[in-house]
Amino acid sequence: DYVFPFQNEAIEVLRAAMAANPKDARAPYYLGNLLYDWQPEEAARMWEASAALDSQFAIVHRNLAIAWAHQKTPDLNRAIAELEKAVAAERKYPLHFAELDEFYEQAGVPLERRLPLFERNAAVVAQRDDAQNRFIGLKVAAGAYDDAIRMMTGRPFAVAEGANLNVAEHWTVAHILRARRSIESGRYQEALADLEAAVAIPANLPPGAAGMGGGSRDAEVAWWSGVAYEGAGDRRKAMESWQRAEAPAQSGGGRRGGQTANALSGSRVYYQALALQKLGQGEQAKTLFTGLVESGKAALQQAPGASGAGGRGGRAISPRARMANAHYLAALGYLGLGDRAQAKAELAQAVEASPDLADARAALAALP
């Protein structure tokens, strides 16, 4: 009835409550909440005591997960195990699915284990924007572009519900990858419609939440538009599209983390180089492709940064994501240079490190 205990005086009150009723799971839970900022080890012991009394109390399992993830030597596996208990409890909370998937992302858990969890609990997940955002990202990575786009159409996403919302990125990537699928099937007009939609972020999606709108992929959209126009027999529009693709990028790029921003920049360079090839500037394109390989190799040599509790967006990028982005950059360079075997090897390593890296998964699937 009195919300969150924070006064020092409440410590003795809660300890007295535990002595008076040893079967009450809430008293040690509240005491853990009160103590965590100053005595995290003791707080974790209180939460463990609470969980032992009420195994279906999802929030205490979630708190234990945060404790294990933020201790001096983080124990990601232990944190995952607690959040798995939280989402398996009778009363489920959408935030717990988002937090669990962030840990799954850091641990490199395969998509085949992550996506079904969200699908089985779709009604709960849909109650909160950051959980729904991660569900959409998994759909995009799995190639379920129609589902992902449907989930983003019309629903307002609030920046307040999750600091790492990158739903606008999911919108752009889903449309680009669906366009590529249409191009492979000769449905060029459908592809062009998707490419146009990719850079037109609807008002219900907050592009500023992750610092990225469709403009971050202008070169990619222009390249594939050229491919679609060429397939449809319109050589003039194809050349115009490739000229836009090879144009220097505009300044800006939002607030995304450095390593993810580097991956987007490398992707832009790749599509600029492809366009240069189409425009008869093969040597310049080769120089750019070689630079991508070197950038990827250099990034792999860098010491991995510390992993935060979160995934992409405003928080620190995980070592696995750094490695995946580096392999992806190198793969783009090898693709441009025509070394498909080495590109395939780099892409496989990128997907192994970060199974939800949709661009790498799509590129790997396109190779024989």
- DSSP H or E run through 114: helix 111-120
Per-residue pLDDT, 252: 43
Structure token pair of residue 65? 């997960």
Per-residue pLDDT, 318: 81
The number of angstroms, rounded, from the C-alpha of 141 to the middle of its chain's C-alpha atoms is 9
What is the rounded distance in angstroms from the CA atom of residue 175 to the CA atom of residue 230?
A: 19
Per-residue pLDDT, 249: 63
The pLDDT tens digits of the residues spanning 149-173 come to: 999 999 999 876 555 689 999 999 9
The pLDDT tens digits of the residues spanning 63-90 come to: 999 999 999 999 999 999 999 999 999 9
What is the rounded distance in angstroms from the CA atom of residue 286 to the CA atom of residue 337?
A: 7
Residue bearing tokens 């799509």: 362
- Is there a contact between 352 and 296 (Cβ–Cβ < 8 Å)? no
- Is there a contact between 194 and 179 (Cβ–Cβ < 8 Å)? yes
Per-residue pLDDT, 146: 98
| Positive or negative: CA dihedral 35, 40, 41, 45 | positive
Low-confidence ranges of the chain (pLDDT < 50): 208-213, 251-261, 305-314
Per-residue pLDDT, 163: 58
- Closest CA relative to residue 315, chosen from 167, 169, 164: 164
Q: What counts of helices (H) and strands (E) characterise the chain?
A: 19, 0
- Is there a contact between 60 and 50 (Cβ–Cβ < 8 Å)? yes
Phi, psi of 218 (to 5 degrees): -55, -45
What is the rounded distance in angstroms from the CA atom of residue 287 to the CA atom of residue 300?
A: 20
Per-residue pLDDT, 1: 60
Per-residue pLDDT, 4: 78
Per-residue pLDDT, 294: 96
- Is there a contact between 108 and 327 (Cβ–Cβ < 8 Å)? no
